[in-house]
Amino acid sequence: MTRTMTRTTTPITKRSVVIGGHKTSISLELEFWTAVRDITQARAITVSELLEEIDRGRDTANLSSAVRVFVLDYIRQNGVKTQIEQASKRDDAA
């Protein structure tokens, strides 16, 4: 059975961030920004702290690519609860 994947166009969003006390900008798709926010919430750290960690450990010259790889690795290793899943659990607990 052959699986056909449809590709949707997701706009890339550029955001200004501070990493190690320096302002820079990162361009990512909205889904990756959402995953970054989910990871920071799960780890109780700021976006800047996470991006600084990724920046220190990256092997590539492109920070945006390093962020995408980090998010993919994190999801593979830990999974990320989506905001919908988290809201559902809060509703169930209430």
Q: For the chain, which domains are there? A: 12-93 (1.10.3990.20)
Calpha distance 77→74 (Å, rounded): 5
Q: Is the pLDDT of residue 2 over 60?
A: no
Tens of pLDDT, residues 35-62: 999 999 999 999 999 999 999 999 878 9
Q: Are 29 and 40 in contact (CB under 8 A)?
A: no
Does the pLDDT at position 16 exceed 90?
Answer: yes
pLDDT tier at 77, thresholds 50, 70, 90:
confident
Mean pLDDT taken over the chain = 84
Is the overall model pTM greater than 0.75, yes or no? no
